[in-house]
Amino acid sequence: MGVAVSRRPHRPPPRSVSGCETGRPPPVFRPRPQGEEDALVTTIDNSEGVRRLRCALFVDFDNVYIGLRRLDPAAAEAFATSPAHWLSALENGSDADGDFSRRFLIRACYLNPSAFSQFRPNFTRAGFSVVDCPSLTQQGKSSADINLVLDAVDALSAQTRYDEFVILSADADFTPLALRCRAADRRVTIITAGPAASAYRAVADTVITADELADLVKDPALAILDVPVAPIVLPAAAATAAAPAPAAITTPTSAPRAAEPAAAATTGTTSATFSARRAILRLVRAADRPLAGGVVAQAAQNADPSLLVTGWDGAGSFFPWLARTLPELGTAPRPGAGFVWDPKRFSESDIPGVGVVDLPPLQRQVVDVTDIPNLPTESYRILLTALADDVSSVPFSRPETARRVRNACQAAGTQIGRVSVNTVIAGVLYSGLDLDAKPTAKKVAETWADNVVGLCRGARMALGPQDVSAIRAWVGGGLLKR
């Protein structure tokens, strides 16, 4: 008896297409034929319990390398010379929906060969398709952006359905491309190496900032960007048990802080403890603001009901247990029941009711549009002065300088977190200030104020002379003449 065999429709092999004079490789995308059966359209693979996302990665090399070089020269060299390392770190992640792994089916890098040809072999060896984009104008403008957009649009209509588009660039000109990807129901991840417009960041599902990228490329093994904590292995009893009410959260007298990695190892290593850690990381990393301690405690107890029985694994209460289990998270036992946040994105000044500044309408709009720290004039004065004092006495090193400046601000009684300090440091570096030259506090304030005014104008805010003077007096900490 014959057996029916299902066959896919026969297609002729693709024609050979030669590259152009700029070194552009043959196209790697093929539009989906009209009427092709849905069985040929790929979807997210969840057969192994971990989502596998089919991804397209597009790297605007010039933009990323130049941006990183201003922020952290060592990070720029690591990005350019070891792409396989940071690419591997991006392949696994975790979000509010659980764990996932990325398959970068497309790895495209667009660079100017006249300036950066020495880095081409590094990306070729890492499996990238490198597209040469030489300067086409006297101003040095290359064709990287248009080539990247054309290839991304081709990928949107390709036979393979790419679940996520990852764009490495801070260029806001890619905002329409990100909007097109979202309209096609694709995830969008933007990785920036410099200040990116708020409208550009708003269209992305995930944004990896310049500071996060610098940490990632220098030491991928220690990066905490969406890295899963551990496999979930819930006991059957725990999986079906009803979650008890959250335990009382004590309120120590210590001041709010962004916890630093602790030297002591976590004592709880059971699968249930791993589940609680994972649940907290998913919740905190997906939040758009610092979360109330009770909400986070409830999530931990839902994942590990034994925490209530064991008195938070012997810690006595929630915050001591959290400091021991997830020291990388920011915590504040007060006000109220306390707050927990992701220190990569928030600081103590983001806590509701703490450090809230009743800004005039103009300054409030500046904060909303540019995402600069919401600090009063006096706090800016303390931050800018502490930065100038630090670089005048100790050689500048971005991570260590930021840590010392933050500690100095907190010692002065000002609630300024690491994110706020990093934002100011990045702003003055991108504006061309050489912190190794030991600038004065007034020079630091002037550069930071110029950066903020530039961000406002880039966001198309209509600023008159009086508006500019008010902004400079505010973010300059009163160190500048109006």
The pLDDT value given to residue 28: 44
Task: List the chain residues with pLDDT less than 50.
Answer: 1-43, 47, 222-269
The pLDDT value given to residue 220: 59
The pLDDT value given to residue 209: 84
pLDDT in tens, 163-175: 999 999 998 889 9
Torsion (CA) 130, 133, 134, 140 in degrees, nearest 10: -130
Class of the CATH-defined domain 40-222: alpha beta
Q: In sequence order, which residues have a C-beta less than 8 Å from that of residue 287 and are 6 or more positions away?
A: 341, 342
The pLDDT value given to residue 278: 83
The pLDDT value given to residue 36: 43
Nearest to 110 by CA among 99, 95, 120, 100: 120
The pLDDT value given to residue 95: 64
The pLDDT value given to residue 447: 96
The pLDDT value given to residue 271: 57
The pLDDT value given to residue 137: 67
Q: Which residues pair with 130 in a beta bridge?
A: 109
Nearest to 249 by CA among 312, 310, 309: 312
The pLDDT value given to residue 17: 37
Query: Full-prediction pTM beyond 0.85?
Result: no
**Inter-CA distances, 254 with 67, 239, 257, 412, Å:** 38, 36, 8, 16
Which DSSP state fits 162? -
Q: How far apart are CA 255 and CA 355, in angstroms?
A: 13
The pLDDT value given to residue 215: 83
Domain ranges of the chain: 40-222, 236-350, 361-475
Which DSSP state fits 330? E
3-state secondary structure of 310: coil
